[in-house]
Amino acid sequence: MTSVAVIVFPGSNCEYDAVTALESLGARASLVFHTAEDLSAYDGVVLPGGFAHGDYLRPGALARFSPVMGALERFVAEGGPVLGICNGFQVLTEAGMLPGALQKNRGLTFLCQPETLIVASTRSVLTRAALVGQELVIPINHFSGNYTCDESTHRELVEYDQIVLRYRDNPNGSLDDIAGISNRAGNVVGLMPHPERAMSTLLGSADGLVLLNGFLGRQSALSGR
Amino acid sequence: MNYAVRVDVTLRSGISDPAGATIERALPALGFGGVHRVRAGKLFFFEVDAPTPDAALDVARGLAERLLSNPVIEDATCALVEG
């Protein structure tokens, strides 16, 4: 994969982190405004973190009505890889492209800290270069990252291997320690942690490399740390 | 006709309510004893142009389901109010 669209909603604020991270891996990453109605020129799409449309009403709720979401639905239907990071994950759940919802953190605390994640499935576009059971240190930065869904949805997530990443030490009350999930096909992934901010040991962790390299369809030279 | 509508959005039973739980935990320290099962929610008011009250409620229910609530975790109830 060489060409990735990073969608910019009014209020997105991690789009440059995402572009910088993807370009450091040799991809061509473009900022694409939320009014775009065609994503067919791209090989992958990233919905970055931030506060899309101010996160008014509920995080991600208003972004569902952005023009780009129709194009995103077509992109997903054709099997294109889509990654929602933090607010991007919230947008994907609100849009119904991923099951469940993200609630306010247990204890109503804004959390900004590194977390150890455990790879639960390598069937997704994000984790395909990682190993099941692999531990990755990736920072979180959110107020509403408490994943929740009803029991039957949770059973399906387990049955279809859609739980992609779990927290080792659950920081926010997420059901079943869930940090990230995929759709049934595995081409749409949402996670609350920020792999684009774990690209260099100088800055705390390079464990985002195995995830973003996987997203770009490459085996990571650094998988396994 | 123009009808005033009120929509209450609350978390579905069984869905954890961090805001309600945090409020409840704070109450004893403020001297409010014996208060239980606190649930936090959202309240919306708006007006709808529609031919009948039922038609206005239909519009409100559609809006509540599509935008004002997330049906995965929330219930919405719509009612006409005195404008």
pLDDT, residue A139, reads 98
Residue with tokens 């096909």: A185
Domain spans, chain B: 2-81
Q: Is the pLDDT of residue A223 over 50?
A: no
Residues B19 and B37: their CA atoms lie apart, in Å, by 12
Residue from the list B14, B19, B67 with its beta carbon closest to the beta carbon of A104: B19
Active site residues of A: 86, 194, 196
Q: Give the contacts of B22 (CB within 8 A, at least 6 positions apart).
A: A107, A108
Q: Report which residue type is found at A203.
A: L
Residues A2 and B77: their CA atoms lie apart, in Å, by 48
Q: Which domains does chain A have, with CATH numbers?
A: 3-215 (3.40.50.880)
Determine the distance from the C-alpha atom of residue A225 to the mean position of all C-alpha atoms in its chain, rounded to a whole number. 21
Query: What's the ipTM?
Result: 0.79
Residues A182 and A165: their CA atoms lie apart, in Å, by 10
Whether residues B18 and A104 touch (CB distance < 8 A) is answered with: yes
CB pairs under 8 A between A and B: 38
Residue B2 bridge partners (DSSP)? B49
Whether residues B72 and A104 touch (CB distance < 8 A) is answered with: no
pLDDT, residue A123, reads 96
Residues A65 and A34: their CA atoms lie apart, in Å, by 10
Whether residues B19 and A61 touch (CB distance < 8 A) is answered with: no
Domain B2-81: which CATH number of 2.40.50.140, 3.40.50.1000, 3.30.1280.10, 3.60.20.10: 3.30.1280.10
pLDDT, residue B27, reads 94
pLDDT, residue A81, reads 97
- Residues A84-130: pLDDT tens digits? 999 999 999 999 999 999 999 998 899 999 999 999 999 999 999 99
pLDDT along chain B (83 residues), means of 10: 96 87 91 92 96 97 95 95 80
